[in-house]
Structure 1
Amino acid sequence: MESYQYVKDCWYVAGLSHEFKPETLTGHKIAGQPLVIWRTRGGSVVAFDNRCCHKRFPLSEGRLLDNGTLECAYHGLCYDEQGKCVKIPSHPDGHIPPQARLRPFPVIEQDGLVWVWPGNPERAALFQPPRTPEVADPTWESIDSGPMHVPANYLLLIENLLDITHFYPLHDGNIGDYANSLLPIELVEGEIGGYRFVKTIRRASNYVQPPYFVDWFHYEVVDREHTHCMLSPGLTRVELRVAPPGQLGTGMDRGYVLLHTHTPVDDRNHVWRWCVNCRADHRSRGDPAKSAARRIAEMFPNVVAQDRWALERQQQMLDYPDDGYSELFLKSDKALRRARQVLAQMRHEEILAAQGKASAASMGSPVLTKQG
């Protein structure tokens, strides 16, 4: 593993739009930063440092008053929707120190997701959160797993998602088989929204599908296109299209768009969500009474449990020093190696930006000299 732990200057998913009910406080920890997030009575989602500026009490444990202000549960300091302290009960004269305010964090609500920027706010405009149009599209059925707390560094999940050669043996018998390991891998790179993406493409002809895919997508033998794309450090997009041999792109296609969000909590934990998206009119073969998306949402947790089992054990091995150990990279690991390099470069860029900001601040500070 690289020496860095996570990218902080990045848009990360805090949750789905429907999870942020009006005037309901929620507490989060994203990239080491404690956050309080809520939807205001006006409908917008706001995010602030979760620590009261008085005695660090978590504001998510407080309450929203009838006038829309957030009241700290410890000493009653009240903050408005801009994070400014507007009332201190122990200051009956009304005096409020100018530094009595909360640090705000940029928020973007887009395509059914709420994205938060936990890093340097001056760099937020350089990037745009990836689009997830299927989540809000009525012609698609979208089912979300909800947040899953995983005791592992989020880079381990990103690498897992870019590498389906582990489908055998880890997922053998459900979504994987030995033949999957033999498929050639095409690597594509580019840039969208300021992020450098890494994408793998695996194509197969006359492929005998593993059991779960037959259950979900009907066909036993298919032509298949399977892509995994790390669009940003916060989201990996998986697309699968299958059809009878020779019929891809003819209207016989079935498949899914599977969105994985990976939000770092700290260097040893992350929050993983998956969201399956299928055409709303597609039914499953295994249970024709259920839509394809619903059937996948019921069965996919079995696959996720296997991945979590592997991620947690990898994290445990990271606790040991590398003395005498050297990690082996295979030809099939090219995508995950590029993902490591992309994240390392992003981390390097944010460190340089922070150093430049600190240098500029020091240049503008008065110089103190010792008086003789």
Structure 2
Amino acid sequence: MDSIFDKFILNSWYALGRSEDFPEEHLAGHVICERPIVTWRTKAGEVVAYDDRCAHKRFPLSKGRIMKDGTLECAYHGMRYDTSGKCVMIPSHPTGPISPAAVMAAYPVIEQDGVVWLWPGDPDKTHLRQPPRTPEIADPKLESITVGPLEIASSYFLLLENVIDITHFYPLHDGNIGDTGTSKIPAEFEEGEKGGNKFVKILRRTKNYKQSAYYTDWFHHDFVDRHNSQIILNPGCVRVDTRSWPAGQEGNDDIERGYSLYHLITPITAKKFIWRVVLSALVDHMSKGDPTISTCKRIASMFPKIAEEDKWALEMQQPMMDYPDRGYQEVFLKPDIGIRAYRKVITDLLREEGQLPSAQPRQTQAQVATAS
């Protein structure tokens, strides 16, 4: 049976990194969906991206340098490329014609809200979907800190399921963000479409709730009214929001504490991906655990432990996905409504790209009777 866990979606926007990760004329090499890509920010401020393999001997262009005229020089034989990926100079025959085939395939890039996005798929289909908006990352009233990048040896679809499913907080994250009570909070479900991307959202609201150790450290109060939501915005981005108030004070903006968090997920291959977590919280909010540092810095200092626990779980889970089912049946629980909904989104996107067979229409009872 075809599996989604040995595939990746090409026609989607994936994060290359935050805007601050792209200083002027600094070459960087990436692999996204098995495509080697070189990027840099030009003097004009534009981030460009194209195939990282020199047209001559496949040498990685990201190991070259940017020349004074703004061209990229390959470090092996000195072939130079302009910002569109076209070869414009060959030192070994400077007066000879340059083959029209010496052009690197360019990749569409959009920079918005402090994030640089790349589309690795069909460039003629970028109009179908927009990159997710991440306004908190670029908001000057908020402090934003990146945790990662972290490389994980599993399908990135497993992380999408992980971050929308907080019932795994216990036992996986017991002692930090996890407790048994989290799994018992009723989940509200929503799905829809925005910017051409189908989304799935889970919201959990609770009152007079005793927070786990890390949440008390970050947001001060032992007992709170709390809203916690996870929304898969596209296959490479999940937004998490936590809003909390002292118990009985739900909705009081003056004493609200919380954060926004973006999981930026970039597939390298079908079974390896890069994970960045961008945390955002009010600049003037300080943590309870260490009142000398901001809430955002405190969370960023403690989050790697959580991420390592998730990394361990995903890398244990992936080999199990690779075995033939042979009678195995996956059982879904009631809280898995978001997971099941987004698996359908992924399946539909893979079918759209021809990576999975089209769904077969169900036969009516009359059709079955006729066929028999």
Question: TM-score, length-normalised on structure 2?
Answer: 0.92
Please give the secondary structure, in 1, of the residue aligned with 2:170: helix
| Other-structure match for 1:206 | 208
Deviation sequence 1:220-245 (CA, Å, 0-9, x none):
11111100000000100000011122
- Code of the aligned partner of 1:105: Y
Between the two proteins, what is the percent identity of the paired residues?
52
| Other-structure match for 2:92 | 90
Q: Distance in 1 between matches of 2:191 and 2:351?
A: 20
Q: Distance in 1 between matches of 2:225 and 2:75?
A: 59
| Contact 2:38/2:61, CA 8 A, preserved across alignment | yes
Deviation at 1:322, TM superposition (A): 1.9
Deviation at 1:344, TM superposition (A): 1.4
Q: Distance in 2 between matches of 1:47 and 1:38?
A: 7
| Other-structure match for 1:357 | none
- Code of the aligned partner of 1:319: D
Deviation at 1:75, TM superposition (A): 2.0
Q: Distance in 2 between matches of 1:145 and 1:303?
A: 11
Q: How does 1:1-372 map to 2 (within 5 A)?
A: 1-2=3-4, 5-251=7-253, 252-351=255-354
Q: Distance in 1 between matches of 2:28 and 2:350?
A: 28
Q: Distance in 2 between matches of 1:92 and 1:301?
A: 52
Please give the secondary structure, in 1, of the residue aligned with 2:224: strand
- Which residues of structure 2 form unaligned runs of 5+? 356-372
Deviation sequence 1:112-132 (CA, Å, 0-9, x none):
111000000011122111111
Deviation sequence 1:88-116 (CA, Å, 0-9, x none):
12223231111211111000111111100
Deviation at 1:141, TM superposition (A): 0.8
- Which residues of structure 1 form unaligned runs of 5+? 353-372
Q: Distance in 1 between matches of 2:73 and 2:284?
A: 47
Where has structure 1 moved over 3 Å in runs of 4 or more? none
Deviation at 1:185, TM superposition (A): 1.0
Deviation at 1:28, TM superposition (A): 0.3
Q: Distance in 2 between matches of 1:146 and 1:178?
A: 28
Please give the secondary structure, in 2, of the residue aligned with 1:42: coil
| Contact 1:87/1:94, CA 8 A, preserved across alignment | no
| Other-structure match for 1:367 | none
Please give the secondary structure, in 2, of the residue aligned with 1:52: coil
| Contact 1:4/1:344, CA 8 A, preserved across alignment | no
| Contact 1:223/1:243, CA 8 A, preserved across alignment | yes
- CA change 1:3–1:226 in 2 (3 A) is closer
Report how many aligned residue pairs link the two structures: 352
Please give the secondary structure, in 2, of the residue aligned with 1:179: helix
Please give the secondary structure, in 2, of the residue aligned with 1:73: coil
Deviation sequence 1:196-253 (CA, Å, 0-9, x none):
0000011111110001101100111111110000000010000001112231221221
Deviation sequence 1:174-213 (CA, Å, 0-9, x none):
1111111111111100111110000001111111000110
Q: Distance in 2 between matches of 1:146 and 1:3?
A: 23
How large is the Cα RMSD of the aligned pairs? 1.3
Q: Distance in 2 between matches of 1:146 and 1:85?
A: 35
- Code of the aligned partner of 2:137: V
Q: Distance in 2 between matches of 1:140 and 1:195?
A: 26
- Code of the aligned partner of 1:30: I
| Contact 1:4/1:347, CA 8 A, preserved across alignment | no
Question: TM-score, length-normalised on structure 1?
Answer: 0.92
- Code of the aligned partner of 2:261: L
